[in-house]
Structure formats: structure tokens, C-alpha cells
Amino acid sequence: MQENISLISLESLNLFTLMPMIILCVGALFIICVDIFKKGLARGFYAALTSFFLIGAFIFILTLGNQDEVGFFDMILIDGMSKLSQIAILAISLLFTQLMLCKREFAEHKFAEYFALLLFMTAGFAFMVSTTNLILMFIGLETASLSLYTMIAMHNRKKAIEAALKYFTMGAAASGFYAFGAMLLYALSASVDINEIVMRLSDRGFSPMLGILGALTLMLGAIGFKLSLIPFHTWMPDVYEGSAAPLAGYISIVPKIAAFIVVVRIFEPFIALDTAWVENIFYIFAVVTMTLSNLMALVQTDIKRMLAFSSISHAAFILCAVLAEADNAMFIYWILFMFTNIGAFALLWANNSSSYNESFQYSFSRFSGLIKTAPVTAILMALFMLSLAGIPPFSVFWGKIYIMSAVINSGYIFLAVIMAVNSAIAVYYYLKLIVYMFLKQPETKIYANNASFAVSIVVGITAAITLTAVLLVEFVVVLVRYFLPL
């Protein structure tokens, strides 16, 4: 045993594959240590430290090029998919950090632990997307999830604590599903590596079918919770409503990126082998999720709850890309969608006011006649809503075009028709907010009471990307194809 251990070299471990995660974890520990020795430092200092470590990890990812790397006992895989998803995760985490520098000071921003938890959470998601090992995926999932539950509760509102408890309870059940599913896959294949599992099961003709079906059903239940696929979506509207607006925006993007990478790594090999029942399950989930979530969004009176159901619908769209094995289209959609969505939540955050109670803070009626009281805010919000609705030439339109083209090219013509119908349904509830802002009389005077310079910069960057997507989409396609060559 000792002789074998001595033979392990640092070169074979290839610790450079762990560097992004190491940078983030070291950053989190450094922030905690600073807080131990010097209490009461300003949130701007911790935000700057957090941004420094996020940018460090971001730069390191960019220096890796497009060559695949394997390290740490072959458990870490830094391929094009891992690099692209980490770039997206780090970019949104960096924008989220700037939103903490809002004009009003909230309870969670007074604690250094909040910033440390953000770095730990980002590292957890980075582990999830950088491995094909079921155990390491689980460790990343739990690291990120536990940090996220705590960050939600730290908002220190009644609804925030309720949201954190609901998220934790449902998340614990999802973790149980994942653990049992991974256990069954190991029992059937004697491996915890996805590629090995698929190869061994394929060699046996996917026998015993009942065991494989049970394992993948449990895994789909666990990941369906993270993606908020129907019927695993019940937690999401309440969590969005109880969370601070920037964190709700973060939840709508980063955990889903990580979960979709896990879906691609676990299920796409089965789809590639023309496993009919896996394809049928994904088809049903995609159709049911996008249709029911859009119908439920129609009747919402709170903007954050509406955006919760909206993000469920967008997740179903991306699930169609997985079904069509269109990884490039999936990433193009995510990159174009994530800036629009975080921009919409940033704008809500800019208009957070202490003058209103929680139930009225983001209601449609509070934004009535906004064009008369805050015309710039109304125009920017209309821009984000039109983009989320898939109206050309804004960003999400191009993402939908790429995914629907991939779905049609894969032969799923009826699915593409359903996607088009659901896009038309979604236009209604996005336009509903625009009608309130532009065509109704003001009920209150609303101003950007929470807008600081940093928040305004985030809104400006996301609005610019949304508005100029027609010019940027070619760059996005080139970027995706650089990391994921066709």
C-alpha cells in the first residue's frame, strides 16, 4: 500500500485541473480568516475580495485553451463542456457579487460568511460540471446546495426562512434519490464513472432492464428537482418569492447550468445509443413542463413568481436540446438567456423599496404606469420582457432559433411545433407586465431607490447584451464551437 502511494506523482494527479475550484475555496477560507481577525469590515471590501477570486478562476479557465484535461485520479474532466459552463457560472457569480453593492444595506451583506458561501457554492457547481464521477458530482451538488440554502435564509425575512426550509426539505429528498440511483448504477456496473457504466451496460444489452430503469428514474427525479421540471417544481415559486431578487436570478441560472451538464453526462450516452424509453421520458418531460409552466405563469400576480414559472419553461426548452443531442445549441441558448434573466432580476432589485411590504414589493400593480414615473426603468424592463418572450431581434430569440433548428434536424417535428405554440403562450404573460407599465395609470410612485452605481452597471451591461444580440450572436456561436467543435 505504502509503495503504491509513493508511486503517485504530482504530474499524474494533474492538479492544474483543480485550480479553478482551489482558487474559489482558498478565497472563501481567506474571507473567513479576515473576518476572524478584523470584524466589521465594509461589504464593499468583501465584494472586492470575492470578485478578485472569481476573476482569478475565470482567467485561469480562459488560459486552458480547448484541449481536454483529466486529473486527480481521472475523476476531474476539464473538457469543452466543463470550460464553457464554468465560464458562464463565474460570469453570473461576478455579476451577482456586484448586486450586493446596492444602495440599501440588507442583513446578509453584513456577514463575511455570505461572501464565503458564494465562493463555496460556485466551487461546488464547478465540481459538478467538471467530472463524470457520480461521487464527485454528489459532493459538488451538496456543497453548492447547502451553501445556497443558507444564503437564502440569511436574507432575514419571514418568507426567506420559509423558502430556505422548503428548498432544504425538497433538496434533501432529491439528494436521497440521487444517492439511491448512483448506488443502483454502481451495483449494476461495478463503476461510478458514467462512461464506464454506459459501456458495461451496453455490452450486456442493458440488462437487467428493470434495475437500469429504476436507477435512471431515481437520477432523473433528483436532477428534475434541480431543473424544477414538472412535477418536481413545487418549491420554485415560493423560493423565488422568498429570496432576494439577485439570488432568485442566480438560482434561475447557475444551478440549472450545472444540473444540465449532469443531465448531458448521464443521459446523453443513452440517447446516443437510441435507447427509446429514455428518449420518450425526456420527450414527455419537455412537453408537459413547458406547457404547464406557461399556463401557470399566465395567472400570476407577482413578477418574481411569474419569472419562476418562466424559467421552468426555459428549462424545458433546453431539455429539448439535450433530447436532440445539440450541446452547442444548449450553450448558445444559455449564454444568451442568462444575461437577459439576470438583468430582469437586477432591475427588480434596483427598485426594491423599504416603503412596501413583501407581498406588494414585486406585484404587477406596483409597476402600473411606470412609464410616467420612471420611464428609463419601464423601457429597460420592457426590453428584458420582450427578449424573454423570444421577440426578435433580442437575445433569447436567437437561442430559441438554434434549439428549434436542432430539434427539427433531429426529426422531432411535432416537438418543434409544441415549442412554437408555447413560445406564443409565453408572449402573453411577458406582455402583461408591459401593459401594466405602459397602459395603466400609476398606483404608486416608484423610483430606483435601491440602485447604486454597481447595480446600474450590471443593468447596463445586461441590457446592452440583450439589445445588441443580433451583432453578438455570431461571436457566441464561434465561442461555443471553439470549446465544442462540431
Does residue 475 register a pLDDT over 80? yes
Q: Nearest CA to 255 among 162, 346, 121, 136?
A: 121
CA distances from 433 to 174, 363, 460 (A): 34, 10, 20
Domain spans of the chain?
A: 13-483
Does residue 356 register a pLDDT over 80? no
Among 379-388, 446-455, 464-473, the minimum mean pLDDT is found in: 446-455
For the chain, the average pLDDT equals 85
**pTM for this one?**
0.90
Handedness of CA 307, 162, 454, 376 (dihedral sign): positive
pLDDT value, residue 355: 55
State yes or no: cis peptide before 375, omega within 30 of 0: no
Q: What average pLDDT does the segment 391-409 reach?
A: 89
Could you read off the pLDDT of 274-331 as tens digits, one per residue?
777 888 888 888 899 999 999 998 888 888 888 888 889 989 988 998 888 888 888 9
Distance, CA of 197 to CA of 163 (rounded, Å): 37
Could you read off the pLDDT of 136-181 as tens digits, one per residue?
999 998 899 898 888 888 876 777 888 888 888 888 888 889 998 9
What is the number of other CB atoms lying within 10 angstroms of the CB of residue 94?
17
Give the pLDDT band of residue 1 (cuts 50, 70, 90). Answer: very low
pLDDT value, residue 91: 93
Could you read off the pLDDT of 190-205 as tens digits, one per residue?
888 888 888 888 888 7
Task: Between 12 and 180, name the one with better pLDDT.
Answer: 180
